[in-house]
Amino acid sequence: FAICGRTESKLKESKKDIENFARIQDCNANLIVQRVDVSERSEIEQFISRVVERCGQIDHVLCNAGISFGSDFDLVRVNILGTMGTVEIVKETSPQARFVLFSSLAGFAPLPHQEYGENAAVYAATKRFLIEYGLKLQQEGLKVTIICPGFIRERSGCCTYTYSSGA
C-alpha cells in the first residue's frame, strides 16, 4: 500500500489510521508513505519508481490531489498536470492499473463567483478537464472511474456522483 501527499502532518495521520485499520483486520499494512508535490513531475516519477521497485507493479491509483484556491496557473498545475503526470507515469510501468480520478460536480455546473472566489471558473474548468480526460482514457482501454463529489462546505457534508461507462 502506498500513499503520497504534500502535507507531512496529514500523511502521518493517514499512516496511523491505515496501520490501526490493518491491526484491527489482523493484516500487515506494509506501507510506503512519501511527501510528493504532484505539480513536480520528478517527484511523481521518484515515488512511482519507489512503489514499483518495492511492489513490482501498481494495481490501483487514486488521483485525489487537487486545490481550489491559489493562482489560476497553480490550479492547472495541480489539478490537471498532476493527474495527467501520475496517470502517464503509471501507464508506462503498470499498464493493467485501474485509475480513480477525483473531479467535482463543478465540472458539470458553474460555481457562483460570489461564493467560491475569483478563480471559480478556472477551478470548474480543471474539473471538467478531468472528466473529459477520464473518458478519453476509457476510450483508450484503461480502467477508469471518475468520481465527482458535490459542493463541500465542511468536512462532514458531501454528496457524490460517480460517472463511469462501466470500466
Residues with Cβ within 8 Å of residue 73, at least 6 apart in sequence: none
Residue 37 CA to chain centroid, in angstroms? 12
The predicted structure's pLDDT at residue 165: 45
Q: What is the DSSP string of the chain?
A: -EEEES-HHHHHHHHHHHHHHHHHTT-----EEEE--TTSHHHHHHHHHHHHHHHSS--EEEE----SSS-HHHHIIIIIIIHHHHHHHHHHH-TT-EEEEE--GGGTSPPPHHHH-TTHHHHHHHHHHHHHHHHHHHHTT-EEEEEEE---SSTT---EEEE-S--
* pLDDT recorded at residue 167: 47
12-26 b/e with 16+ CB inside 10 Å = b? eebbeeeeeeeeeee
Q: Is-contact 97 59, C-beta < 8 A?
A: yes
Tens-level pLDDT at each residue, the chain (167 residues): 889 988 889 889 988 888 888 888 777 767 899 999 999 999 999 999 999 999 889 999 999 988 888 899 999 999 999 999 999 999 999 999 999 999 998 898 877 665 667 888 899 999 999 999 999 999 999 999 999 987 665 444 444 444 444 44
Evaluate whether 133 touches 166 at the Cβ level (below 8 Å): no
pLDDT at 116: 66
- Residue 153: per-residue pLDDT: 56
Dihedral sign, CA of 157, 166, 132, 42? positive
| pLDDT score, position 159 | 41
